[in-house]
Chain A
């Protein structure tokens, strides 16, 4: 199985963004998807760094793709996403709008925010030129198995959300701005102080969600540690790792070792939990009763 790095979901300062992708050049991953997924207002801060990051990663032997925005509504967002293809890098669509901008038959990838729930949809995307599809994180293992089989029949590589806070929802409203009594248009970049999202607790004080501007993520980090054998058996071709502000190189290395069989089950997740205070894991979408369920022993929330 291969490793794909998801586009960062967070708003990082340009220097940090640049350093993250420089560091990633030495990480043991096959593929990196980068660009702005969540909010078009963030892009101007780091877009000038993108070509250099693409070049660095390509020189390091990685396959590089550019993501579309997850929710395209405004005129400037339409224009900007229509121009993505001009950069000469394969596009990963995360809003179907981005597919409408690609010439028919052009090769592209499909991200986890496109609803690929069944074989007909997978085959339709393949017929339009999709070469790789990362499935929506909420899919159970049975669906993953059926889709990986359908993918292998029509030459589409199927990928699964492997590690990181799970994208659960996207909205027209910016919750970070709302929290600060502002509107989205006048947000003053309220999300910039939360490089891994902002913890949202329930009334009994349980950490539950993570706020990230217009996006809502899980509080828990998805972790495929206990699922890797089943995913391999299902024919899944890659795991997707979602960038986090600290210790991401270690995550890449841990998954590589786990895939190579040099790390026993349970060690990867134990090390991921040890990365920071308050890191909780989940793998329930694949096999549990609820998305938040976890196969391992959980540190107390």
Chain B
């Protein structure tokens, strides 16, 4: 069954940053397996390597050593072009600071991934509208990001992340810049996406947010120190 298929499988993943004078180890051998359909939260103190790990999982960065299999395919050392291709076909990103393009409207921002995938105009319009409606921001479609509240911006960003129907969504502190009401809204949206079958990997500081995940991975000094199943979530699902 597809639930058992590994979407992410890393072995002894390491990342070192070398500057003129110092060598910093960001990841010191991470073994992480994530199954399709899982919702995983990565937690840990600042500087523990959470973001580095997420960047590598999102193929925005490559590891210094170790193995990273994405959907069974080794991607640790593939070319930049290949990574771009894997990203656009399989991944969606949500950031703490939303990262919408200021010069594009909400609708144009959301349509962007489809443009790089080469969708037709009508298909793009259809899918963009669907994503906007799903996130409840269709009424702000022709606004520019600065005209939106933080919550609306993040919903637009999530709409952009899901518009291409990726297998995996990577979220980097998605509620970090939001108040608790909007934060909860965003977490519910991610949770709904996960319920619909999308794998979600989220980096967070917030224990409340982590509650939405099936599994919580705790990172410290570049290593996984504990992995906890979220009993509450599992219980909810079983009910």
Binding partners A and B: no
Chain B residues with a Cβ under 8 A of chain A: none
Chain A residues with a Cβ under 8 A of chain B: none
